[in-house]
Chain A
Amino acid sequence: MAARVIVTTSGKGGVGKTTSTANIAAALAKFGKKVVAVDADVGLRNLDVIMGLENRVVYNFIDVIEKTCKLAQALVKDKRVPGLYLLPAAQTRTKDAVNPEQMVALCEELKPDFDFILLDCPAGIEGGFKNAAAGADEALVVTTPEIPAVRDADRIIGMLESMGKSPIRLIINRLRPNMVQDGDMLAKDDILDVLSIDLIGVVPEDESVIRATNNGEPMTMTLDSPAAHAYLNIAERLLGRDVPLMDLESYATRGLVSKIKKFFSGKRNKR
């Protein structure tokens, strides 16, 4: 077994890197793959919370690098999905605690035991990003349909290209089909026109993401929301399956119909 090492990155913060990592990791594990999600955001770890494993974290990957513990001791196994593991980051250290060579060595150590290694990259283009990206072969760039996020994604793609990562694929997160139809949000094609990389999935804006994040349960474990389906599709595409993009326009229409219903039933949101 030689794992594919994929970094999830974006440049801009708050676009859904960690949520994407957790959900794609869980989805890949559901498809029978052995997956480890590595939280490379040293000092600001969140992946353990989103995966609902924070109570079980004892060691972290800095401990592994510094040989305070063995790799197997630091890995946290998710009991809900067979084959899903988390390698947490240190919360009490800074990003200087690790260097790119150490990250490469860590990934090499993980590779024989897994099918996929997903690295959750911190925001920014400095050391934290470079460390996380150093260990990866492929990249998933997450962006939201906002101009600053797209510009930062463009910057990150340029850096990933110069580091020789390939393929670099795009996830458009939190797309609101209603707003796109009204011309108030960048459309998928607008973003692809600027970024010029392969699209691996579009995740619609979905309230269930917030619920799932707070409950510590990746959505792809339950599959009862549009975002969950979108992440599952992304995982399938990572496995090389030909899965068509979701029809987000139907969500937009559904949203409009429900708004009209709410309007006539007097259940409008009071602001």
Chain B
Amino acid sequence: MKILNLNSLRNTRKPKPKPESTSYGMKLHLPETLTEDELLRSLARIPASAYKLREGQGVALDFAGRSCSRRLILHMINSIVWEKGIRVIAWLSGNEESVKLFRAAGLSVSEPAEEIQNAPKPEPKPESPKEEKEDKEPEQEKKRISGLKIVYNSMRSGQRVETEGDVLLWGHLNPGAEILAGGSIIVAGRLLGVVHAGGFGREDVFVWAGSFETPQVRIANKLCYADPKSTTCWRKGVVITLEDGTPVIRENKFTGGLKS
């Protein structure tokens, strides 16, 4: 009978770069124990499609305590970053020498939490002829609808929904419940919990609530507080949007053509 020592097997297995999903896109942890060549080979094996992220998002490369040589940095840029079309938004390291080298090369060395807020918006696409535009709009609409998540029950304290698309909650959002959506959020009932629309940076989103009763709403990178005493829309139907970067709350006076 052949007995395998699992520990010895584990020791021979090389660690791999480990991706971590973040609010700004992806953080790629690069193992310190690999030699520079092993690291480059390991990164080269990852397909370019693995680095594809949404618009405005990017990858932070975390070298941990590795002392990076100029050769490694050059090869990283040449054969990995440019070759695979990765949008690197940060070069992170706990090693002072490495940080100095990154800075000297003009690379961003800080954790990109702030960067994403001020990330340049994607350049507007050139206006296409009217006929083409009309063809494309339904396609875009389809994309958004496919990302819709519908919750048919009220959400209780401690319950949380997180999705990259839009959310329709067909019930109340109780205190202590949370919705984080990349798109817009509709709460058909009472909005008492926390909602974060455009949670991954999108600003063209809205929050619609049947009854607005929450002290805090988050849209894109904006946090808004509502005081029940001074908010005129308190306990009324509202729609909240971002206009020129400022959250605007409007009472929903639309009655669907019915006389009240």
Contacts and interface: CB of A to CB of B under 8 A. Distances in A.
Contacts of B156: 154-155, 157-158, 161
A179 interface: no
Chain A interface category by residue count? 10 to 19
Interface stretch (B69-77, B103-111, B172-180): B172-180
A104 to B, nearest CB: 24
Interface in B123-163: 154, 156-159
Interface in A136-175: 147, 150-152, 154-155, 157-159, 161
B195 to A, nearest CB: 17
A155 B176 contact: yes
Contacts of B174: 151, 154, 194
**10 closest residue pairs by CB, A with B:** A158-B156, A154-B157, A155-B157, A155-B158, A154-B156, A151-B157, A151-B176, A151-B175, A154-B174, A158-B159
Interface in A101-136: 125
Given A151-B157, A151-B175, A154-B174, 5 more contacts: A154-B175, A155-B157, A193-B190, A194-B192, A196-B154
Q: Identify which of B158, B159, B172 gathers the most chain A CB atoms within 10 Å of its CB.
A: B158
Nearest to A158: B156
Interface in B51-108: none
Contacts of A154: 156-158, 174-176
Contacts of A157: 156
A155 B154 CA distance: 12
A194 B172 contact: yes
30 contacts: A125-B158, A147-B175, A151-B157, A151-B174, A151-B175, A151-B176, A152-B157, A154-B156, A154-B157, A154-B158, A154-B174, A154-B175, A154-B176, A155-B156, A155-B157, A155-B158, A155-B176, A157-B156, A158-B156, A158-B157, A158-B158, A158-B159, A159-B158, A161-B156, A193-B190, A194-B172, A194-B174, A194-B175, A196-B154, A196-B172
A171 B175 CA distance: 20
Q: Identify which of B156, B174, B175, B192 gathers the most chain A CB atoms within 10 Å of its CB.
A: B156
A95 to B, nearest CB: 20
Contacts of A151: 157, 174-176
Interface SS of B by simple majority: loop
Nearest to A150: B175
B66 to A, nearest CB: 40
Contacts of A125: 158
A173 B156 CA distance: 21
A149 to B, nearest CB: 11
B25 to A, nearest CB: 32
A225 B146 CA distance: 59
A12 to B, nearest CB: 11
Interface string B170-196: 001011100000000000001010000
Q: Identify which of A151, A152, A159, A193 gathers the most chain B CB atoms within 10 Å of its CB.
A: A151
A161 B157 CA distance: 13
Q: Identify which of A125, A155, A159 gathers the most chain B CB atoms within 10 Å of its CB.
A: A155
Interface string B193-237: 000000000000000000000000000000000000000000000
Contacts of A150: 175
Contacts of B158: 125, 154-155, 158-159
Contacts of A196: 154, 172
Contacts of A159: 158
B181 to A, nearest CB: 20
A257 B6 CA distance: 80
Contacts of B159: 158
Contacts of B157: 151-152, 154-155, 158
Nearest to B175: A151
A193 B190 CA distance: 10
A55 to B, nearest CB: 40
Contacts of A152: 157
A189 to B, nearest CB: 13
Nearest to B155: A158
Q: Identify which of A125, A154, A155 gathers the most chain B CB atoms within 10 Å of its CB.
A: A154
A161 B159 CA distance: 12
B219 to A, nearest CB: 24
B80 to A, nearest CB: 44
Interface string A200-226: 000000000000000000000000000
B171 to A, nearest CB: 9
